[in-house]
Amino acid sequence: MSDAKLDKSFNHAAAEPRLYARWEEAGDFACHPESPAPGYCIVIPPPNVTGSLHIGHALDNTLQDILIRWRRMQGRDALWQPGTDHAGIATQMVVERLLGAQGVKRRDIGREKFLEHVWNWKAESGGTITRQLRRLGASLDWQRERFTMDEGLSEAVREVFVTLARQGLIYRDRRLVNWDPVFQTAISDLEVESREVKGSLWYIRYPVAEEPGRFITVATTRPETMLADTGVAVHPDDERYRDLVGRHVILPITGRRVPIVADSYSDPEKGTGAVKITPAHDFNDFEVGRRHGLGMPSMLDPEGRVTLAEIAPEAELVEGIADPARLAEFDGVDRFAARKGIVAELERLELLEKVEPHTHAVPHGDRSGVPIEPRLTMQWYADAATLAQPAIAAVESGRTQFVPKQWENTFFAWMRDIQPWCVSRQLWWGHQIPAWYGPDGEAFVERTEAEAYAAAEAHYGRRVELQRDEDVLDTWFSSALWPFSTLGWPAQTPALAKYYPTDVLVTGFDIIFFWVARMMMMGLHFMGEVPFRTVYIHGLVRDEKGQKMSKSKGNVMDPLELVDEYGADAVRFTLAALAGPGRDVKMGKARIEGYRAFRTKLWNAARFAEMNGIRPDPAWDPASATLPLSRWILDAANNALAEADAALEAFRFDEYAAATYRFVWNTFCDWFLELAKPALNQPDSPEAAELRGAAQHVLGTILRLLHPVMPFVTTELWEHFGYGSDGDLIRAPWPQPAAVAGADEARAELDWVVRLIAELRAVRAEVNVPPSVTTPLLVRDAAPESLARAARWIEPIRRMGRVTEIRPLEGEMPKGVAQAVLGEATLILPLAEVIDLGAERARLATARDKAEAEARKVEQKLANADFVARAKPEVVEENRERLAALRAEGERLAAAIARIG
């Protein structure tokens, strides 16, 4: 126990950095792979290296830290694996913008130089988020920090890519991809988001080649793509167009002849029932084009500008329809300008039938925010459908479980219909694809350049020059390996053996597809076992009105500002308390203030303990407790512990928070300490000695119970008091239930005392008796046991119930009394001077009516033969007892009213 007294309040701003630094320096977060203690592992969802801590991180990491600290205290060798993600597009974007501000363009300085800039940026600014995680109190094992592009993880990436390629699970293919014209790279389906756009539906008349003067009208939202049309499709059963199938149209502007084909893709209900087919610029059209062997020319370059390279050669002059000279004017024109130009040209040609306003969903790049373009390019794909099978099976069999369980449906739905995963990106920042091409384009996928040359030499029979693939891998490719690459794979390290499969993954639903699914696939494929036993999915953090936080709305809460203002413990407790299953977290300042008050309450309870000489006594044995009050609080602490454990086992962070809050505030502070005060005020009494023993024991339990969620204040108190001699709270053993004798009797006794005091308080408050007025408590009809109890608890009752003495009512009923019924007894407070008898009569009448009404309800229930016959016997018995109690209470209240006169 420190000599200095506890300050009047907890100075979180000073204490938190001090305590965190000490934990880190002492190695308190470190795991010990060689130790015999059973492992427990959580890998952090690696934040983007460009990131800064937002409230979502704060939630995610608070929950992880609670689990890690709890398990660590339980004696598990806990590893919380830290690290950051290189975040391909995001990081490249940041550095490009910085260079851009200095007038430097990426392509001007070249790949090597650019990457140098990125690494420099990372060295300077990449540590922001990990510093911020420390402010939260996150007990990550920083010695093991990894980065998705550090050497070990890069080796894992190459190993995985090469292995999958050898197994035929990674391959090159030329097909349509989602192309982002801003970043000029392919992106995966998941990186595309639909946005509602108010556009138009243009109806274009295509002249039928074989029948001059006849037209077929197509409707389109993208008129500019007509430059690359290679057909028009109608439904085979569509009477309107049956005779046209097999004929051709002459495309306006380009003058190309393209066939009219019958394909059931065409929906007679939509548009005109005839649809233009542009295989190189639309996913559905691509399929139609394939089925009918249509050409697939492209008309947009990587930046989204019109290019005539693949279409102009076919352009021919057709009077009144097409003119190669006009077509040439579109070369190099941006896609949006081209749309206007094409429409204008169609209008001029009188081939634009009409334009309708049309709202539709348009795919946009989630990073760039611009409409993506389907483009026909050669890319690397992973065979996700094959890799998904074991992952689906693992969740079906329960080897990995989602919490809450309904997310499994989401997982299954996506996995069962999974598309090939485009893993190549036309970026510079990322893992460069380990593929080298020979002069004829033959690809050699190898771990190193030397191996690629060796393979090429074997293939060609001579040494040839190779070109390395310029592309890098999707960022999620390396994150997919995170649970095993961070543990040392492909090396077989002790950490890998001990901590894989990891225990829990804590994350938001938004990356189930991006990340969780892919970790499942890769983990099962390369480790032969699931990457984690449980996936805990939490909600989104919203503002107090339930709005999504966004910069544009200006409702963003900065977790670091909250930590500054309220302290990390209060922020963490709030997040945990609000983290109900399947619910978004609505974060409001009022809530945080409330939990800061809770922290203060704990602090003040500790101050009280200190003032009363309550100090750690490891030798004190709970089994030695003889007083009902100490037995009762020890038993209640056992219950709180059991609730907390059950809640944490079930990932019910909200219940864990609620159970500890209730116990500390409503049980320990409001009742135990108050009831103990009279005895503690006689410090030399044996009662005081025992209560100090119980109090120090329970306070120690409280500090440990709360440590996972409030690590700072609990540690500060733990050390101030000097609990534990061999290290601090972070590694203190998790509490075990204390063996308590006579718990049932103690509970019955304390329940009665609590009810008595509550009755006294309620009566006094309701008849407006000021606390300064004290009275004797007269008791009528009390059983001897009640009188004995009252005598045992006289001091706390006097203090908390504002009574001077307790005695049975003898002789005449005094005038002007307030009364209350407690069990068999009637409590009488003579208050002749102050009482408003009318108010008292009304109060008693209300209580009587309530008891009688309740009794009637129960009576009715018991009168129902079906209820008595079919309900569980204990329920029937309960109701009978309740009826008797209610009737007795009503009668006693009625008698009390009668006595007033």
Is 607 a binder of RNA (CB under 7 A)?
Answer: yes
Site residues for RNA, 164-223, by CB under 7 A, read 189-190, 193-194, 201, 219-221
> Pattern 12-51, binding to RNA, x per CB under 7 A?
----------------------------------------
**Minimal distance, residue 578 CB to RNA, in Å:** 6
Among 175, 214, 731, 882, binds RNA (CB under 7 A): 882
Is 798 a binder of RNA (CB under 7 A)?
Answer: no
Instruction: Tell me which residue of 131, 181, 209, 67 sits closest to 652, measured CA to CA.
Output: 67
Q: Tokens 């499709």: give the residue.
A: 233
Q: With respect to RNA, which residue has the nearer C-beta, 647 or 790? A: 647
**The one segment of 68-76, 264-272, 311-319, 436-444 that binds RNA by CB under 7 A:** 264-272
Tell me the C-alpha distance between 587 and 489, whole Å: 39
Q: Is the dihedral of CA 640, 644, 649, 650 positive or negative?
A: positive
DSSP for 249-268, please give it. EEPTBT--EEEEEE-TTS-T
Is 240 a binder of RNA (CB under 7 A)?
Answer: no
Is 787 a binder of RNA (CB under 7 A)?
Answer: no
Q: With respect to RNA, which residue has the nearer C-beta, 95 or 688? A: 688
- Classify residue 318 by its DSSP letter: B
CA dihedral 503, 509, 513, 517 (to 10 degrees): 10
Contact 162, 446 (CB under 8 A): yes
- Classify residue 333 by its DSSP letter: -
Site residues for RNA, 528-547, by CB under 7 A, read 544-546
Q: How many other CB atoms sit within 10 Å of the CB of residue 884? A: 12
Site residues for RNA, 705-764, by CB under 7 A, read 758, 761-762
**Minimal distance, residue 679 CB to RNA, in Å:** 13
**The one segment of 637-645, 781-789, 826-834, 875-883 that binds RNA by CB under 7 A:** 875-883
Is 357 a binder of RNA (CB under 7 A)?
Answer: no
Among 677, 792, 856, 899, binds RNA (CB under 7 A): 677
How is residue 484 written in tokens?
């095993």
Is 362 a binder of RNA (CB under 7 A)?
Answer: yes
Show binding-site residues: 551
Contact 73, 734 (CB under 8 A): yes
**Minimal distance, residue 108 CB to RNA, in Å:** 36
**Minimal distance, residue 322 CB to RNA, in Å:** 22
Tell me the C-alpha distance between 797 and 755, whole Å: 11
By rule CB under 7 A, what count of residues binds RNA? 87
297: three-class secondary structure by DSSP: coil
Q: Can you give the three-state secondary structure of 42-89, one letter per residue?
A: EECCCCECCCCCCHHHHHHHHHHHHHHHHHHHCCCEEEEECEEECCHH
Is 143 a binder of RNA (CB under 7 A)?
Answer: no
Site residues for RNA, 374-433, by CB under 7 A, read 406, 409-410, 413-414
Phi and psi angles of residue 612, each rounded to the nearest 5 degrees, phi first: -100, 20
Is 555 a binder of RNA (CB under 7 A)?
Answer: no
Is 581 a binder of RNA (CB under 7 A)?
Answer: yes
**The one segment of 494-502, 701-709, 812-820, 862-870 that binds RNA by CB under 7 A:** 862-870
Site residues for RNA, 282-301, by CB under 7 A, read 283-284
794: three-class secondary structure by DSSP: helix
Question: Which residues partner with 192 through β-bridges?
Answer: 365
Is 270 a binder of RNA (CB under 7 A)?
Answer: yes
**Minimal distance, residue 480 CB to RNA, in Å:** 18
Q: With respect to RNA, which residue has the nearer C-beta, 140 or 376? A: 376
Q: With respect to RNA, which residue has the nearer C-beta, 194 or 626? A: 194
Tell me the C-alpha distance between 894 and 30, whole Å: 68
Q: With respect to RNA, which residue has the nearer C-beta, 819 or 879? A: 879
How is residue 880 written in tokens?
């009978």
Is 275 a binder of RNA (CB under 7 A)?
Answer: yes
Q: With respect to RNA, which residue has the nearer C-beta, 147 or 402? A: 402
**Minimal distance, residue 373 CB to RNA, in Å:** 13
Is 872 a binder of RNA (CB under 7 A)?
Answer: yes
Contact 736, 730 (CB under 8 A): no
Is 611 a binder of RNA (CB under 7 A)?
Answer: yes
Question: Which residues partner with 300 through β-bridges?
Answer: 306
**Minimal distance, residue 75 CB to RNA, in Å:** 29
Tell me the C-alpha distance between 724 and 704, whole Å: 11
Tell me the C-alpha distance between 662 and 654, whole Å: 12
Tell me the C-alpha distance between 732 and 72, whole Å: 9
**The one segment of 24-32, 317-325, 361-369, 455-463 that binds RNA by CB under 7 A:** 361-369
The backbone region for 865, taken as left when phi is positive above 0, alpha when psi lies in -120 to 50, beta otherwise, is alpha
**Minimal distance, residue 674 CB to RNA, in Å:** 6
Q: With respect to RNA, which residue has the nearer C-beta, 16 or 96? A: 16
How is residue 517 written in tokens?
């699914």
Q: Tokens 């907390």: give the residue.
A: 644
Sheet containing strand 248-250, edge to edge, reads 248-250, 257-262, 231-234, 274-277
Is 243 a binder of RNA (CB under 7 A)?
Answer: no
**Minimal distance, residue 896 CB to RNA, in Å:** 17
Show binding-site residues for ATP: 551
Among 116, 211, 670, 785, binds RNA (CB under 7 A): 670
Residues in the chain, total? 901
Is 565 a binder of RNA (CB under 7 A)?
Answer: no
Is 786 a binder of RNA (CB under 7 A)?
Answer: no
